[in-house]
Amino acid sequence: MKRLVFPGKNFPVYVFDTYEEASLAAAEVVVSEMKKKPEFLLGLATGSTPVRLYRALIEKCRAGEISFSRVKTYNLDEYYPIDPKNEQSFLAFMKANLFDHVDLPKENIHIPNGAATDPAAEAVRYEEELLAIGGVDLQVLGIGSDGHIGFNEPADEFILPTHLVTLTEQTINDNSRFFRAKSDVPTHALTMGVGAIMRAKKCILIANGKNKAEAIRGAILGDPTPKNQASALQFHRDVAFYLDKDAASEIL
């Protein structure tokens, strides 16, 4: 593992040989933070990136090292529109990859409702839940190949509250691997804005693979810009990056 710190950038970047090592190191952070506070507020991400981290959390929970019984989870985003029962929904993803395997009470799960009839009202409802907690204790993040965090796509501005977003062609292409056909990928999503992500007390961003290298370079070394939404994290008070060497290849 290499720990990189860049001049003028006030956060650590950890580079590992493999995705597995990066995930396990990130899992250690989640576990040690969870142990400090049973009523932990945990911000979660979907996508293939956090899957290994979630498997480590399941193992730690099964071993009795951590418990989710008093944890509340807050997911970054959900496709819109989508039936939460659809196996492509982010709720279904979270159940399959974490929730169904740990002692997390159902009522402690928070995620935008992809089946809400009025997405604007649903965005307001979710933002009110997020504002009520004042910020999660720890937010797990992946990054899109276009630099998105949550589904905050490249734009002319940072949108702070939860909102409905139109997915970019690049994101639809990236995510089509989870669907039978590209045309099945929803074109919209409800996402936490950058505001709730910045309110997290701690953020850890995991990235692996060459297709993330350019987005990671912009996020870490570029001037902060809404064209790379992850670059907002440069202003976060406690953020760390966990990368495999491919994702770090443009910053080494």
Dist. CA 185–CA 212, nearest whole Å? 21
Dist. CA 123–CA 168, nearest whole Å? 19
Which of 78, 122, 137, 148 is catalytic? The answer is 148
Sign of torsion over alpha carbons 134, 75, 228, 250 = positive
Give me the 80-119 binding string for ligand PGA, x by CB under 6 A, dash otherwise: ----------------------------------------
Active-site residue, 174 included: no
C-beta of residue 34 within 8 angstroms of C-beta of residue 42: yes
Identify which range of 17-25, 116-124, 138-146, 153-161 contacts ligand PGA by CB under 6 A. 138-146
- Closest CB to ligand PGA among 67 and 86? 86
Dist. CA 49–CA 142, nearest whole Å? 6
Query: Out of 119, 142, 154, 218, which residue is the one contacting ligand PGA (CB under 6 A)?
Result: 142
Smallest distance, Å, CB 89 to ligand PGA? 15
In this structure, what token pair is assigned to residue 15? Answer: 């580079």
Active-site residue, 146 included: yes
The letter for the amino acid at 92 is: A
CA dihedral 181, 182, 187, 193 (to 10 degrees): 110
Neighbouring residues of 205: CB distance < 8 A, sequence distance ≥ 6: 141, 142, 143, 149, 219, 230, 233, 239, 240, 241, 242
Query: Out of 112, 144, 147, 186, which residue is the one contacting ligand PGA (CB under 6 A)?
Result: 144
DSSP run (H or E) holding 243:
strand 239-244
Active-site residue, 100 included: no
- Residue 49 engages ligand PGA in binding (rule: CB under 6 A): yes
Active-site residue, 103 included: no
The letter for the amino acid at 104 is: L
- Residue 215 engages ligand PGA in binding (rule: CB under 6 A): no
Smallest distance, Å, CB 209 to ligand PGA? 7
Smallest distance, Å, CB 142 to ligand PGA? 3
Burial class (CB in 10 A: 0-12, 13-18, 19+), 8: exposed
Smallest distance, Å, CB 63 to ligand PGA? 26
Sign of torsion over alpha carbons 246, 95, 29, 192 = positive
In this structure, what token pair is assigned to residue 8? Answer: 């003028």
Identify which range of 27-35, 136-144, 179-187, 235-243 contacts ligand PGA by CB under 6 A. 136-144
- Closest CB to ligand PGA among 49 and 113? 49
Query: Out of 43, 47, 135, 186, which residue is the one contacting ligand PGA (CB under 6 A)?
Result: 47
- Residue 143 engages ligand PGA in binding (rule: CB under 6 A): yes
Q: Which are the catalytic amino acids?
A: 77, 146, 148, 153
Q: Which residues bind ligand PGA (CB under 6 A)?
A: 47-49, 142-144
